[in-house]
Amino acid sequence: MLGWLSTLPVVWIALVVLVGMGLLAVAIHVVVAHFAEGDRAAALSAVSPAMLPPMGILFALFVGFLAVGVWGNVDRAEEAVNTEASALRAVVLLSDDLPATDRTRMRALIRRQIQTAVDEEWPAMEDQRASLTAIPAPLSDALHLAFALRPREEGEAVSQREIVASIQDALDARRQRIIVSESGINAVKWLGLVALAALTLVTVALIHTGNRTSARIAIAVFTVAEAVVITMLVAQDQPFTGQLGLTPDVLEQVLPRVS
């Protein structure tokens, strides 16, 4: 629902959210003030201030529920990228025990895999269009090469087993990061959050119908607070998108050492 907003710098996200929430707050204040006239004024002003704490708690609980999912996805994405980089680095180190020809081929395949991840997979993950359908050819070739090795001594046999295990770890980590790249807060949850924010502002406006100035101040404070919360969620809604999205720096750190 807000995927386009996640691609903006954080400052622009904050500005857009603040403007949007500000317009919503102004509309609520105007509508409530309009209805709080004449015979309806007494009824609306009688709304108990005790309604505000439950509304605030409900909004906070819903935000917490969303935040757990958002930051959980970020942690999973970081773990997947770090695991993939560590696995590929392990393959490079273990290839030292292979014959010269096989070592060169193995490192070339790892280099190609990292370049493919950086140049092709990362932009696709940023746009949430990465797919698990295509098997990464470099890693597939590296796995076949590892299985085809003919160890001449025990040390090479151990290296072969570890290389196979590391390549499989890299494949699994790649799969996990692509899966996590598709995560995000869906439209129903966003609508629920905005609805609760609006209802909280309505409650504030109703409680302060007797004093327009205090109503404006209270609504402004709640609006800014809600805008801050929504900005934080939007900025990290998609783990690989936007200014705070994860970058392939960890994988690129492995690349210069592949030769």
Give the pLDDT mean for 154-172.
89
Domain of residue 215: give its range: 3-257
**Between the CA of residue 2 and those of 97, 144, 242, what are the distances in Å?**
50, 42, 12
Summarize pLDDT for 36-64 with one digit per residue, the tens: 776 666 666 666 777 788 888 999 999 99
The string of pLDDT tens digits covering residues 79-126 is 999 999 999 999 999 888 888 888 889 999 999 999 999 999 999 999
- How open is the CA angle 90-95-98, to the nearest 5 degrees? 155
Is the pLDDT at 149 greater than 90, yes or no?
no
Of 126, 75, 88, give the one whose Cα is nearest residue 251.
88
31-37: average pLDDT? 80
Q: What are phi and psi of 249, to 5 degrees?
A: -55, -40
Please give the angle made by the CA atoms of 89, 91 and 94, to the nearest 5 degrees: 110
- CA–CA gap between residue 120 and residue 188 (Å, rounded): 31
- Alpha carbon distance 70, 235 (integer Å): 10
pLDDT, residue 101, reads 87
Domain count, the chain: 1
Joined together, the tokens standing for residue 194 give: 């905005």
Cβ atoms of 193 and 1 within 8 Å: the answer is no
Residue 215 CA, chain-centre distance (Å), reads 36
Prediction pTM value: 0.84
* pLDDT for 208: 79
pLDDT above 70 as % of the chain: 93
